[in-house]
């Protein structure tokens, strides 16, 4: 074999390098497995000549290792040649140096004239082992020595410039948006020079690079995971369905297969690993592509539906039939899908969808500066190669940011999560068990106009309202509620109902479009246990969104709570819960702890003591919203004589005649105080036969208790030793009130 001429020797580029890493990512073999094949008794033994292999042996090494038939011939040659370059060296580290130098500085590296027909097997295996499982720290240290070309122990500005140029090459190969990348990379390298000395030391390089995913990716030191993984879920189909990979029918008694929650791509279990087409895109590659709406088609399962383009029926072909767009959900014939209009309207859910062409990645310095575990909010909003996603909103829409508490309402939470992941962009739907509300709020934080939907119980809503307070947003987005599970008083009084029963989510989103914004007061509650007392149970919340009570009502809730923890099977449906409440309220003679309640507590409204002397009180409740324990309204209806605007209302009202004509309001910066006269009466109140005694309407309350009493905030009960309780106005949350139901149901 004669030495190749200059024109034949194409040098390795960073792009080759990234390609090679991609092959390695998909292979399941380890270098040591392949080496075994070259042992005396191995399948490839005859290609080994002492410590060396020839080009054919090298080709077989790659083929066996990467498990590909069609590895590019020219890349194979270039790799082989880079190993040949230091045939005279037996030091494998030097060998690696040469190879890496070739990889990174190919433009300036002149290939040595000395060619041999063989390379050292040890060099080859050593190199691939480092690619295979080298840690970022090792790879960074190694790369540092290469970039430090003059070997003076620091990277000076010309060496840094060279690194930046290499990263730009890699970025354009990876299809990143490079239009504004150069200054960002320069800043990134400046930041790595932590002491601003003008040069980068090894320590600075390693510390700065370790957690910088984009840097690692652009240097080829870290492989990016593939974007576009389907979210598989096992499903039984009750009609014939065809596999998107092998195109044959899903057979078997129950036609079982995997289908993607996000795009409905359907496959045999065995076909899921046979290189399926990627899942639908959730963002575009660069800012330039934003604002360009195009359909994203997925094949199959459009049998007998009407084609949106030619209006003819899509006939079943006993195979994958037709295409549907994952955003607007229109269906077309395969050939019609290629025709105009290609513009996607996003269909009936346009107002809510944040389509892929509204999200793009930018490379950004992460603010965590290496302190891991500080609740990194943006983890879910980064691309696999470490770029941060940004929103460029579609005009005249109100993207819906959905938070689902999958633990609410049995399996219902998970079901709702999956449905929203299909109906909307999965990037706008957040599972609260996976990182809480932070990631969603941070992705949406610069938007001016959007809505939030909380799927969960009252407790979940409180959690999100808290998170909104703490996120310090420029605009407080209004919040709608999809009630899951039990105890959804807040959802009920905002007309979202007492519990989700599997209704069509599209209809619910239509209601959200028609909903109106209301302000809801929120209250700080401070419980100061008397110094002489031992601490009681922990106080469940510091904020009241719904109601607060002491005595009879709370005592019932406390027993209820304890019972439910002991015998959860008795409390598995909303109806049963309601019955249990009723039973507690009527059959129990409430313990003496709440008898003579008025002797054991005092109430001040804005500094003025309430006169409780004429009442036989067993409980006191402070109401913010007109619903409690599944729909009971303790304040009761008020005839519509109260037309004054709340602004004129005094800080505190205690006159019974005025209270009689005062209605309850969740945005008047007042709490309603009511008295409960006993357990028997509670039963009547819960069933709507009676309301409690109106005591006051006030903007501030102080309560002092003299003995341990049961209390509750928003349905969470506890036992509280003697204490002082101070309740003050905190702020107003922006909530969405559902439109009035057309044929307002009797059971609403
Ligand atoms: Zn298949
Ligand atoms: Zn998918
Ligand atoms: Zn479409
Ligand atoms: Zn058609």
- Sequence-distant (6+) residues with CB within 8 A of 71 are 23, 59, 62, 63
Q: Last residue of a domain, which of 172, 188, 218?
A: 218
Q: How far is the CA of 349 from the centre of ligand 3 (A)?
A: 11
Shared domain for 428 and 543, answered yes or no, is: no
Q: How far is the CA of 369 from the centre of ligand 2 (A)?
A: 34
Q: How far is the CA of 276 from the centre of ligand 2 (A)?
A: 10
Inside any domain, residue 505 = yes
pLDDT tens, 354-386?
999 999 998 875 544 433 333 444 567 888 778
Lowest mean pLDDT among 335-339, 507-511, 642-646, 720-724: 642-646
- Find, among 487, 709, 529, the residue nearest to 617 by Cα: 709
Shared domain for 263 and 213, answered yes or no, is: no
Q: What is the DSSP letter of 571?
A: G
pLDDT tens, 421-450?
999 999 999 999 988 999 999 999 889 999
Shared domain for 186 and 170, answered yes or no, is: yes
Inside any domain, residue 473 = yes
Q: How far is the CA of 336 from the centre of ligand 3 (A)?
A: 13
Inside any domain, residue 233 = yes
Inside any domain, residue 144 = yes
Question: Would you list the DSSP string of 50-113?
Answer: TTEEEHHHHHHHHHHHHT-S---HHHHHHHHHHHHTTTT---HHHHHHHHHHHHHSTTTPPPPS
Give the ligand with the smallest distance to the CA of 270: 1
Q: How far is the CA of 345 from the centre of ligand 3 (A)?
A: 6
Inside any domain, residue 351 = no
| pLDDT of 238 | 80
Q: How far is the CA of 653 from the centre of ligand 3 (A)?
A: 57
pLDDT tens, 390-426?
999 999 999 999 999 988 877 788 899 999 999 999 9
Q: How far is the CA of 334 from the centre of ligand 4 (A)?
A: 8
Handedness of CA 584, 586, 589, 593 (dihedral sign): positive
Neighbours of 152 (CB within 10 A): 10
Shared domain for 481 and 565, answered yes or no, is: no
Give the ligand with the smallest distance to the CA of 294: 3
Shared domain for 484 and 626, answered yes or no, is: no
Q: Which residues of 551-583 are buried (b: 16+ CB within 10 A; e: fewer)?
A: bbbbbbbbbbbeeeeeeeeebeebeebbebbee
- For the chain, how many structural domains are there in total? 4
Q: How far is the CA of 309 from the centre of ligand 4 (A)?
A: 5
Q: How far is the CA of 385 from the centre of ligand 2 (A)?
A: 20
For 7-34, what is the mean pLDDT? Answer: 70
pTM to 2 decimal places: 0.77
Q: How far is the CA of 342 from the centre of ligand 4 (A)?
A: 13
Q: Last residue of a domain, which of 514, 549, 573?
A: 514
Shared domain for 510 and 530, answered yes or no, is: no
Which residues on neighbouring strands pair with residue 522, listed in sequence order? 731
Give the ligand with the smallest distance to the CA of 347: 3
Give the ligand with the smallest distance to the CA of 337: 4
Shared domain for 87 and 158, answered yes or no, is: yes
Shared domain for 454 and 535, answered yes or no, is: no
| pLDDT of 291 | 92
Q: How far is the CA of 268 from the centre of ligand 1 (A)?
A: 4
Q: How far is the CA of 243 from the centre of ligand 2 (A)?
A: 13
Range of the domain at 583: 523-639+649-732
For 727-746, what is the mean pLDDT? Answer: 81
Residue 92 has pLDDT above 60, yes or no: no
**Band (520; pLDDT cuts 50, 70, 90):** very high
Residue 90 has pLDDT above 50, yes or no: no
Inside any domain, residue 443 = yes
Q: How far is the CA of 329 from the centre of ligand 2 (A)?
A: 14
| pLDDT of 114 | 41
Q: How far is the CA of 295 from the centre of ligand 3 (A)?
A: 4
Handedness of CA 374, 378, 384, 385 (dihedral sign): negative
Which one is predicted more confidently, 67 or 673? 673
Q: How far is the CA of 325 from the centre of ligand 3 (A)?
A: 5
Q: How far is the CA of 696 from the centre of ligand 2 (A)?
A: 56
Shared domain for 389 and 459, answered yes or no, is: yes
Give the ligand with the smallest distance to the CA of 249: 1
- Find, among 462, 614, 622, the residue nearest to 550 by Cα: 622
Q: How far is the CA of 315 from the centre of ligand 4 (A)?
A: 10
Give the ligand with the smallest distance to the CA of 324: 3
Residue 252 has pLDDT above 80, yes or no: no
Could you tell me the CATH number of the domain that includes residue 113? 1.10.238.110
The token pair that represents 463 in the structure block: 């959690």
Q: How far is the CA of 424 from the centre of ligand 4 (A)?
A: 25
Give the ligand with the smallest distance to the CA of 311: 4
Residue in this structure with the two tokens 């007492």, named with its chain if needed = 498
Could you tell me the CATH number of the domain that includes residue 608? 2.60.200.40
Give the ligand with the smallest distance to the CA of 251: 1
Give the ligand with the smallest distance to the CA of 325: 3
Q: How far is the CA of 210 from the centre of ligand 1 (A)?
A: 41
Inside any domain, residue 502 = yes
**Band (482; pLDDT cuts 50, 70, 90):** very high
Q: Last residue of a domain, which of 459, 494, 514?
A: 514
Q: How far is the CA of 424 from the centre of ligand 2 (A)?
A: 13
| pLDDT of 462 | 93
Shared domain for 404 and 443, answered yes or no, is: yes
């Amino acid at each position: 074999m004669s030495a190749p001429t200059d024109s034949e020797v194409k040098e390795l580029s960073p792009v080759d390098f990234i390609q090679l890493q991609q092959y390695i990512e998909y292979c399941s073999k380890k270098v040591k497995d392949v080496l075994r094949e070259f042992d005396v008794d191995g399948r490839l033994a005859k290609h080994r000549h002492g410590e060396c292999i020839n080009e054919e042996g090298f080709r077989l090494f790659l083929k066996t290792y990467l498990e590909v038939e069609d590895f590019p011939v020219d890349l194979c040659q270039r790799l082989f040649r880079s190993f040949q370059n230091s045939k005279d060296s037996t030091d494998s580290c030097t060998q690696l140096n040469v190879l890496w130098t070739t990889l990174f500085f190919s433009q300036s590296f002149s290939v040595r004239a000395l060619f041999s027909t063989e390379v050292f097997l040890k060099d080859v295996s050593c190199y691939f082992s480092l690619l295979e499982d080298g840690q970022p720290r090792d790879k960074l240290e190694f790369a540092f020595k290469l970039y430090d070309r003059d070997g003076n122990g620091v990277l000076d500005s010309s060496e840094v410039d060279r690194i930046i140029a290499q990263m730009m090459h890699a970025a354009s190969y990876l299809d990143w948006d490079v239009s504004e990348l150069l200054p960002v990379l320069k800043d990134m390298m400046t930041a790595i020079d932590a002491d601003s000395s003008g040069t980068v030391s090894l320590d600075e390089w390693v510390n700065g690079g370790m957690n910088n995913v984009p840097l690692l990716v652009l240097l080829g030191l870290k492989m990016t995971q593939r974007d576009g993984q389907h979210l598989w879920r096992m499903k039984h189909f009750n009609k014939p369905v065809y596999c998107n990979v092998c195109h044959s029918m899903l057979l078997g008694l129950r036609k079982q297969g995997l289908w993607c929650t996000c795009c409905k791509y359907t496959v045999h279990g065995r076909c899921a690993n046979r290189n399926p087409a990627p899942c639908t895109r959730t963002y575009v590659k660069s800012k330039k592509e934003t604002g360009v709406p195009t359909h994203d088609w997925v094949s199959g399962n459009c049998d007998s539906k009407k084609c949106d383009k030619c209006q003819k029926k899509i006939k079943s072909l006993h195979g994958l039939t037709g295409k549907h767009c994952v955003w607007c959900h229109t269906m077309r014939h395969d050939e019609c899908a290629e025709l105009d209009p290609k513009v996607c309207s996003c269909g009936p859910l346009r107002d809510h969808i944040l389509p892929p062409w509204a999200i793009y990645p930018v490379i950004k310095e992460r603010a965590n500066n290496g302190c891991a575990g500080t609740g990194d909010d943006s983890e879910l909003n980064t691309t696999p190669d470490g770029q941060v996603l940004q929103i460029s909103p579609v005009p005249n829409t109100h993207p819906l940011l959905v938070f689902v508490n999958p633990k609410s309402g049995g399996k219902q939470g998970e079901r709702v999560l999956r449905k929203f992941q299909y109906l909307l962009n999965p990037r706008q739907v957040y599972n609260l068990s996976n990182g809480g509300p932070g990631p969603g709020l941070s992705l949406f934080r610069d938007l001016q106009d959007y809505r939030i939907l909380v799927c969960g119980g009252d407790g979940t809503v409180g959690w999100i309202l808290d998170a909104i307070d703490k996120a310090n947003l420029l605009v407080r987005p209004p919040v709608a509620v999809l009630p899951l599970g039990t105890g959804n008083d807040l959802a009920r009084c905002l007309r979202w109902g007492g519990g989700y029963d599997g209704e069509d989510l599209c209809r619910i989103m239509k209601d959200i479009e028609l909903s109106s914004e209301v302000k809801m007061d929120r209250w700080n509650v401070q419980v100061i246990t008397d110094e002489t007392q031992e601490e009681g149970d922990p106080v469940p919340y510091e904020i009241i969104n719904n109601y607060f009570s002491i005595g009879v009502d709370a005592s019932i809730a406390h027993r209820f709570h304890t019972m439910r923890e002991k015998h959860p099977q008795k409390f598995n449906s909303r109806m049963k819960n309601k019955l249990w409440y009723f039973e507690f309220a009527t059959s129990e003679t409430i313990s003496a702890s709440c008898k003579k309640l008025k002797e054991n507590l005092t109430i001040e409204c804005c500094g003025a003591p309430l006169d409780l002397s004429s009442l036989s009180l067993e409980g006191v409740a402070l109401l913010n919203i007109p619903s409690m324990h599944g729909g009971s309204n303790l304040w009761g209806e008020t005839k519509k004589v109260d037309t004054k605007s709340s602004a004129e209302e005094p800080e505190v009202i205690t006159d019974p005649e005025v209270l009689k004509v005062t209605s309850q309001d969740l945005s008047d910066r007042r709490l309603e105080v009511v008295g409960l006269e006993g357990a028997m009466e509670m039963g009547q109140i819960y069933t709507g036969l009676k309301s409690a005694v109106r005591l006051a309407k006030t903007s501030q309350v102080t309560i002092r208790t003299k003995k341990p009493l049961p209390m509750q905030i928003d349905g969470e009960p506890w036992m509280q030793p003697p204490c002082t309780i101070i309740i003050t106005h905190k702020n107003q949350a922006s909530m969405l009130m559902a439109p009035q139901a057309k044929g307002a149901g009797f059971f609403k």
